[in-house]
Structure 1
Amino acid sequence: MNAENWQNARIQWESEPTASYAQVADSFGVSKALVGRKAKEQGWQKRLSADVAADRAHEIAASEFTHSAIGQPGQAPVVDANRSGIRPGLPTVSSGVPVDQARAAAAASAVGRRAEVEIRHGQEHAAARSLLYGAMKSRDFESTKQAKLALESLKILHDLERRAWRLDASPANALPAVSITINRRSRAKDNT
């Protein structure tokens, strides 16, 4: 590989929080060991953490999401299920672009792809909710069962995607975990 390809490989790995040496190796047709050696020699470091990427994606999704998936009453919602993969890939890096710009673009791509997943989840949730409400309104038991199965399947899929994309890594605005410690003393010791 030439120097430009190694630079692109580095930018891709550093800009994607979930990228592995194996993904970079597959993308460029080299061995994982070679990528690892080059990374160690050049001091590769992740420039975008999963937490930061998830927080930015949440913000983008919250500002861009619309309830367009709900549609008109009685109209079947339309959701494009093929827009994003279950597992994140490497961001694209344009050749001939200055390193700083390429890094910024790759980081923005990593955040943008996560935001797309968030927006799609919102649209799918709205579509499934509409399906459930329609089934409940019709009072058709079989339709309600199908809607329930669809919602449960969607929840499983969303959980898997959120884990793969690390969308719930540990948002900065999350409440800290509660820890309770109980110290037990015998009454005999307290009475002395």
Structure 2
Amino acid sequence: MISDADMLEEIDARLAAVADVQFALIQKIQGRIQAADDAAELQALAEPLDRCARSIRLTYALRVKLRKDIRSLDREETRRAESAAREEAERPWNRIRNTVQTLTWREIDWEEEDEDEFAEKLDRILDYEALDPAFIHLPLEQQVARVIRALGFKAVLYPPPQGEGDREAVEGAQTHSPFQSSA
């Protein structure tokens, strides 16, 4: 599929060709005006010259607008790509943050701890862990356990299901977290 910027560039190239034809026509009319001796002939040539000049001015104005639109689209595409890259980079951290918050929610004494203070503490720990390049490559379970320990809580694995067989095979690996609250 052709992008908007590519389409506008194609239109601009065709307008440039039209402008070239218009300019050649203006030069031809200008040559006839210089060769004309009689006032009636000059007046007859002045009207087409005026029309061609107006047409070429409009063509150039449209080309300038198209160039601005192309730059605007390029900036927007760049902004979207950067936003998508930033979102992709934040996705594992958001997943870790959400899992830790879910698993520690029952552990926190909310009478003593403020929700905003806990979020700030969690963010500081995640920022610290981000300094370790190996951290992001650890499995989610190890990342979460490490952050929960840094928060001062104990991460306890869920006990294996009794009598159900292999739960991951039945429900899928993503439906069941290997952690449970220690409460």
Name whichever structure is richer in helix by fraction. Answer: 2
TM-score of the superposed pair, with normalisation by structure 2: 0.25
Task: Indicate the structure whose relative CO is greater, using CA pairs within 8 Å and at least 6 residues apart.
Answer: 1
Mark the structure with the bigger radius of gyration: 2
